[in-house]
Chains A and B, each alone.
Chain A
Amino acid sequence: DIQMTQSPSSLSASVGDRVTITCRASQSIGIYLNWYQQKPRRAPKLLIYAASSLQSGVPSRFSGSGSGTDFTLTISSLQPEDFATYYCQQSSSTPLTFGGGTNVEIK
């Protein structure tokens, strides 16, 4: 199974900050990496697929990069509605696996 490791597990940031979350795969997954946002008591929402493609309707302040084993989700200017938990997920092979999540909190 491919293990997905996210860091940090949590962070505190202010509105307007640039935020970066990293995700590392235990083996190469090409660009088969996706990012989701989840707010409390809500279903996850797809933000980025194929490492860097922005899902329709997602604000352009979200961006993704990386390939192979190392990936990054960046929020260029954090907005109040962005405080949430973010998960990476590999879609390279079954079983499909998620990172442990990064909780973005208000500083």
Chain B
Amino acid sequence: QVQLVESGGGVVQPGRSLRLSCAGSGFSFTTYTVHWVRQAPGKGLEWVAFISYDGRNKYYADSVKGRFTISRDNSKNTLYLQMNSLRVEDTAVYYCARDAAAAAATWVFDYWGQGTLVTVSS
């Protein structure tokens, strides 16, 4: 079955960096666009970024543009989110999510990981 497993969350001070990972299994990872979506404690969902199946196309929310970098290693079936210059307002559960169509981008999230919590605090 399709599985997405995030890791790398934790507590970090403002201004520092953190890298999240998301391991995909149970599907052909190399043919799917994948996304990061976050949820601040007690708040709604916020799309963060996506990367196309081949890594050529990347889009970011304005709130993270220039600070976060999405990447993928298809040889390892793994998605990454490098987060630099972290702010208190980046505190959230970060989910990776699969796009609903292979070799395309529907921008619909059909499978989600369980999430990893990032806390930015001094």
Give the interface of A toward B (CB within 8 A): 1, 32, 34, 36, 38, 43-46, 49-50, 55, 87, 89, 91, 94-101
Task: Give Cα A89 to B95, complex, Å.
Answer: 15
Tier of interface size on chain B: 20 to 34
For the complex, is B24 an interface residue (Cβ under 8 Å from A)? no
Report whether A55 and B110 are in contact in the complex, using a CB–CB cutoff of 8 Å. Answer: yes
Question: How far in angstroms is the closest Cβ of chain B from A33?
Answer: 10
Whether A96 and B112, one on each chain, are in contact in the complex, defined by CB atoms closer than 8 angstroms, is no
> How near does chain A come to B61, taking the closest CB pair, in angstroms?
5
Helix, strand, loop or mixed for chain B's interface? strand
| Cβ 8 A contact of B62, one of A95, A96, A100 | A95
A43-B95, A43-B115, A91-B108 as given contacts; A101 in contact with B44, CB under 8 Å: yes
Q: Is B27 an interface residue (CB 8 A)?
A: no
Contact across chains for A44 and B107 when beta carbons are under 8 A apart: no
Interface pair A91/B107, CB less than 8 Å apart: yes
Tell me which residues across on chain B come within 8 A of A91, comparing CB atoms.
106-108
Q: Which of B45-66 contact A (CB under 8 A)?
A: 45-47, 50, 59, 61-62
A55–B45 alpha-carbon span in the complex (Å): 20
Of B37, B45, B100, which is within 8 A of A49 by CB?
Answer: B100
7 additional A-B residue pairs with CB within 8 Å, beyond A89-B47, A91-B106: A43-B112, A44-B37, A44-B95, A49-B100, A89-B45, A89-B108, A98-B46
Q: Which residues of A have CB within 8 Å of B46? A: 98
Q: Across the interface, which residues of A come within 8 angstroms of B109, CB to CB?
A: 34, 36, 44, 46, 89
State whether the Cβ of B114 lies closer than 8 Å to any Cβ in chain A. Answer: yes
Residue of A46, A50, A95, A101 touching B47 (CB-CB under 8 A): A95
A97 touches B47 (CB 8 A): yes
> Once the chains bind, are A87 and B113 in contact (CB under 8 Å)?
no
